[in-house]
Amino acid sequence: MDESVVTAPPSAASPSAENGSGPEYDIRLIGLTKRFDDVVAVDNLSLDIDRGHFFALLGPSGCGKTTTLRMIGGFEEPTEGRIELGGVDVAPLPAYKRDVNTVFQSYALFPHLSIFENVAFGLRRRRVKGGEVRRRVVEALELVGLAGLERRKPRQLSGGQQQRIALARALVNRPRVLLLDEPLGALDLKLRKEMQLELKRIQSEVGITFVHVTHDQEEAMTMADQIVIMNGGHIEQSGTPTELYESPRTAFVAGFLGVSNLLEGTMVGEDRVKLSDGTEVQCPREALGGRTGTVQIGVRPEKLRLGAGEANSLSGTVAESAYIGVSTQYTLDTPAGPVTVYVQNDRPGGQVATGERLTLSWSPESTFVVDSQEGLQ
């Protein structure tokens, strides 16, 4: 536990706005642990969240992402560890003394108050003057595109509108960090897509750090510029959506973000891996990262080409095919294991029948490497 605290608090201990040098963290989680009785929900988690980023905590249900968010918000007390907001440990503080606001999954709008009073709630608690309250509430409602609904009650609004009001109610306080707990979960698909772009727009407009919890990888990829993938209470990998998709470091990440083909192999050189059927494939040296022994190499289905044009290739028979309109998805049985490939339907009648032999190839740069015998699949 203590090792993780060794990384000294950054210069953020003094308000980082003044010195432009170095990374600016809005949130630092240091050795954060939460145990419910004997269940470890969050396990020694350390994480830096940069100022002004749209940050996604992504993972399957029960991975500890919501518990982490609730600890930052002040609704769960950490068993161990520190939560620094702008360099100050807020772990011992109650929710109402933290400069963060939350958008709840259920929206949690106050049903007995008008929309105006809902949005004004935080300002009133801080004794903001009446005229100022009015101005800022209207401003917040305009930001979410719902000006003019001030006198309605929450139940008179649609789910999507309630969602926006919840957002306005949080943002009107201009918090240091906005926490979003699966806020789009209750919306239908079309509305969810709209709100994803809307949230992204609002975030870049207000410039506040957003921490967004979701189990939907597509949602996280669409909105966030930094993603942390959590599993079993710890961080699997963090990075930009591209980094995570193109070079996942664990089988879990590879499987959680889209479809991937994972093949067992043994290191036979600095940049070469021998698959179980004896085929040697080339991988980027940095992806192998000095690993030895058995590894798993991975390649995304859309990176595979038909034919033997690239440096790495495999042959197999078509076991399954599924026509998806834009492309056809084939699953091949190869001696090294099953491989899925997407083939663009760029000319009519190009389908391959099951049982036929196909050769696939891909470039070494499209290959990623994960540790063997890990998790999923």
Partner 1 sequence: MTSVAAEAGRTRPNALSRAWAFVLRHVLTVYSLLFFVYLMLPIAVVIAFSFNHPTGRFNYTWRGFTWDNWLHWNAVPGIQSAITLSLEIALFASIVATALGTLIALALVRYGFRGRGTTNLIIFLPLSTPEIVLGASLATLFLHSASYGLSIPFGFWTILIAHIMFCISFAVVTVKARLIGFDRHLEEAAMDLGANEWTTFIKVTLPLIAPAILAALLLCFAISVDDFVVTYFNAGNQVTFPIFVWGAARVATPPQINVIGTAIFGIAVTLMLINVFIQNRRSKQA
Residue (102 or 247) nearer to partner 1, CB: 102
Q: Which residue has the tokens 């935080």?
A: 122
**Rounded to 5°, angle at Cα 310 from 290 and 254:** 50
Q: By CB under 8 A, how many residues form the interface with partner 1?
A: 27
CB 140 within 8 A of CB 119: yes
The answer to whether the beta carbons of residues 211 and 49 sit under 8 Å apart is yes
Helix (H) or strand (E) holding 223: helix 217-223
Nearest approach, Cβ of residue 88 and partner 1 (Å): 17
* Residue 158 binding partner 1, by CB under 8 A: no
Shortest reach from residue 103's CB to partner 1, in Å: 9
Query: According to CB under 8 A, which one of 64, 73, 248, 301 is a site residue for partner 1?
Result: 73
Residues from 171 through 230 that contact partner 1 (CB under 8 A)? 173
- Between CA 98 and CA 103, with CA 102 as vertex, the angle to 5 degrees is 170
C-alpha torsion sign, points 256, 261, 263, 269: negative
> Secondary structure of 91-147 in the HEC alphabet?
CCCCHHHCCEEEECCCCCCCCCCCHHHHHHHHHHHCCCCHHHHHHHHHHHHHHCCCC
Kindly indicate which of the ranges 6-14, 42-50, 68-76, 192-200 contains the residues binding partner 1, using the contact rule CB under 8 A. Answer: 68-76
Interface residue with partner 1 among 18, 39, 155, 349 (CB under 8 A) is 155
Q: Whole-angstrom Cα distance, residue 61 to residue 75?
A: 19
Cα 23 to its chain centre, rounded Å, is 21
Least spacing, CB of residue 274 vs partner 1, in Å: 54
- What track of x and - describes contact with partner 1 for positions 78 through 117 (by CB under 8 A)? ----------------xxx---xxx-xxx-xxxxx-----
What H or E segment, with its residue span, contains residue 222?
helix 217-223
From the list 30-38, 129-137, 149-157, 333-341, the region that binds partner 1 by CB under 8 A is 149-157
Look up residue 62 and give its DSSP letter: T
The nearer residue to partner 1, 46 or 105, going by C-beta atoms, is: 105
| 129 contacts partner 1 (rule: CB under 8 A) | no
For partner 1, the binding residue among 75, 234, 328, 365 (CB under 8 A) is 75
36 versus 323: smaller Cβ distance to partner 1:
36
Among 240, 205, 226, 197, residue whose Cα is nearest residue 26: 226
> CB under 8 A: which stretch of 38-46, 153-161, 320-328, 337-345 binds partner 1?
153-161
Which residue in 169, 212, 215, 303 binds partner 1 (CB under 8 A)?
169
Q: Which of 22, 125, 132, 280 binds partner 1 (CB under 8 A)?
A: 125
Binding site for partner 1 (CB under 8 A): 73-75, 94-96, 100-102, 104-106, 108-112, 121-122, 125-126, 153, 155-156, 169-170, 173
